[in-house]
A and B are shown apart, each in its own frame.
Chain A
Amino acid sequence: MTNKAAAPRRPEQIFFDDPALDRLMGVVMTLASEHYVLRDRLQALEEQLVKAGHVSAASLAAAPSLEKEAQYRADADDFARSILHPLLAQQQALGVTGRFSLRRRGS
């Protein structure tokens, strides 16, 4: 089979009024993904340490059981909710709302 030749890269689709946000969101989501992966790894380490008293690289690399997978899925749901909730732009404490600017009130 002949693999498809690498196509020239096209600019990514734009969704925000300011394309800077499109790019920044890419960074944020990548960081969030990395953070979650690290968190998952930490969970694995903790379990290993408790269970055997030492770290096993091979077992750290193994996939979790189906039961564990379901447990981790619930945690991932919560994590994703906390990461993405700011997109709803809702105040968590009562205060002044709207865009902040001193253009008209600055001296």
Chain B
Amino acid sequence: MTTERAFNAGQRFLLAAKGFWTTTLYQHVRTEFDAITQGKDVNSVAAVAETLEDLTTYQYFAWLERHMQRMKYSGRYGLARFYDEHRESFLARLGAVPLNDPVLELDPELPLPKYYTDVDIHQHPGGVWSDDVAGLVYEHGARSTTPLLGAAHANLHTRFTDLVAEGGTPASVLDMGCGFGKSTRPFITKFANARIEAVDLSEPCLRVAAQFAHEAGSSNVHFRQRDAANSGFADNSFELVTSTMLLHEIPPGPLNSVFAEAFRVLEPGGRMVHLDFYYFPDAFTRFMHYGHGRRNNEPYMQPLAELDLPQVLRDHGFTDVEITPFAEAPDAQSSQVWRFPWTVISARKPLRPTKS
């Protein structure tokens, strides 16, 4: 059995290697690319691929992205094995929230979409839904998604919530695709008097979310096992609909249903604000972003980035559509390290329908 110490050391090595990869190795790829393409017009992902994919440094960069993530979850010091070996003790910690607790509503009969079950996102074996410990594994894995952020990773959720609060204090909030509740927690705190509803497809994740809410003594939130595309809430029942890192996990067809559902449940005048990864204008970083989607088992990253989101949202009847780059940390805009195209996508349901 893997000891906690050995597991921690294995994960620490990977995190350190990821630190080298995201800074030094990334900078070398960029420098070599710039030297090769100096004076040339390289303004498409295909044109970048033409140059980069034959570059040895890039090949190592790509390999490492794929396989450091594999080792994070699989293998002797992987999260999946460690949580499987210590399953009983981890599940016992979740036992504090009874299955009939009012904070948690589970639906074992909920049909899970094929796009959701067909791919093990983030290279998490079995996905975030198929194993009782999957929510705990996901929660642990999310702590090291962005190596340079470290503890500040949690703060990006707070930064996002603060940004949302600048637009007003809603009395009711729906957090779509809440996962294990990390995105929901700042809303629970920031809007302490609001009714907060959070939905996700994954029972294991919702159980972790409920556990955190239980421990924090939060009484203004419910975590429900429901599909964001079919949430079951009444028409016009929320002042704010939000999500964090959900949209890029959904293919364009079902994504349309999610936007339609958001529009339906929003009160007239209500706001929809998502934090997600969208579009890099620079072809090099866009190439890296699309490659990340493929290497990290997130096949809908590229389709989302290629979507004309403002038009899609207007087609759904939204107004005041804004697509704004988001700084996940105070010094986040450096081009010297690999980072995601963090973007705030916001829109409003008009007081009167504008849809034809």
Q: Is the CB of B16 within 8 A of A77?
A: yes
Q: In the complex, what residue of chain B is closest to A36 when comparing beta carbons?
A: B13
Of the stretches B17-25, B33-41, B226-234, B324-332, the one at the interface is B17-25
Is B56 at the interface (CB under 8 A from chain A)? yes
Q: Which residues of B contact A4 (CB under 8 A)?
A: 117, 126-127, 129-131
Q: Which residues of B contact A84 (CB under 8 A)?
A: 17, 20-21, 24-25, 64
CA distance A88 to B117 in the complex (A): 39
Q: Is the CB of B17 within 8 A of A83?
A: yes
Interface SS of chain B: helix, strand, loop or mixed? Answer: helix
- The smallest C-beta distance from A98 to any residue of chain B, in angstroms, reads 13
Q: Is the CB of A29 within 8 A of B16?
A: no
Q: Is the CB of B63 within 8 A of A37?
A: no
Q: Is the CB of B203 within 8 A of A1?
A: yes
Q: Which residues of B contact A80 (CB under 8 A)?
A: 13, 16-17, 19-20
Q: Is the CB of A25 within 8 A of B6?
A: no
Checking B5, B14, B63, B295 against A64 with a beta-carbon cut-off of 8 angstroms, the contacting residue is B5
Q: In the complex, what residue of chain B is closest to A57 when comparing beta carbons?
A: B3
Q: In the complex, what residue of chain A is closest to B13 when comparing beta carbons?
A: A36
- The smallest C-beta distance from A77 to any residue of chain B, in angstroms, reads 5
A-contacting residues, B104-141, CB 8 Å: 108, 117, 126-127, 129-132
The count of chain B contact residues (Cβ–Cβ below 8 Å) is: 46
Is B10 at the interface (CB under 8 A from chain A)? yes
Q: In the complex, what residue of chain B is closest to A32 when comparing beta carbons?
A: B13
Q: In the complex, what residue of chain B is closest to A72 when comparing beta carbons?
A: B12
* Binary flags per residue of B282-304, CB closer than 8 Å to A gives 1, else 0: 00000000000011000000000
Q: Is the CB of A76 within 8 A of B12?
A: yes
Q: Is the CB of B67 within 8 A of A29?
A: yes
Is A13 at the interface (CB under 8 A from chain B)? yes
- Using A4-B126, A84-B21 as known contacts, say yes or no to A15 and B15 having CB atoms under 8 A apart: no
B-contacting residues, A1-41, CB 8 Å: 1-4, 12-13, 15-17, 22, 25-26, 29-30, 32-34, 36-37, 39-41
A-contacting residues, B16-61, CB 8 Å: 16-17, 19-21, 24-25, 28, 54, 56-57, 59-60
Q: Is the CB of A81 within 8 A of B20?
A: yes
CA distance A60 to B76 in the complex (A): 18
CA distance A32 to B77 in the complex (A): 12
* Binary flags per residue of A63-107, CB closer than 8 Å to B gives 1, else 0: 110000100110011011101100111000000000000000000
- The smallest C-beta distance from B25 to any residue of chain A, in angstroms, reads 7
- The smallest C-beta distance from B76 to any residue of chain A, in angstroms, reads 8
Q: Is the CB of A64 within 8 A of B8?
A: yes
Q: Is the CB of B57 within 8 A of A3?
A: no
Is A52 at the interface (CB under 8 A from chain B)? no
CA distance A69 to B117 in the complex (A): 36
- The smallest C-beta distance from B302 to any residue of chain A, in angstroms, reads 15
Is A55 at the interface (CB under 8 A from chain B)? no
* Binary flags per residue of B51-95, CB closer than 8 Å to A gives 1, else 0: 000101101101110111001000111000000000000000000
Residues on A facing B (Cβ under 8 Å): 1-4, 12-13, 15-17, 22, 25-26, 29-30, 32-34, 36-37, 39-41, 44, 60-64, 69, 72-73, 76-77, 79-81, 83-84, 87-89
Residues on B facing A (Cβ under 8 Å): 3-6, 8-10, 12-17, 19-21, 24-25, 28, 54, 56-57, 59-60, 62-64, 66-68, 71, 75-77, 108, 117, 126-127, 129-132, 203-204, 294-295
Inter-chain pairs besides A13-B295, A25-B67, A81-B24, 18 sampled, C-beta below 8 Å? A1-B108, A1-B203, A4-B117, A4-B130, A15-B60, A29-B17, A33-B10, A36-B9, A37-B13, A60-B5, A61-B3, A62-B4, A63-B5, A72-B12, A80-B13, A80-B16, A88-B24, A88-B25
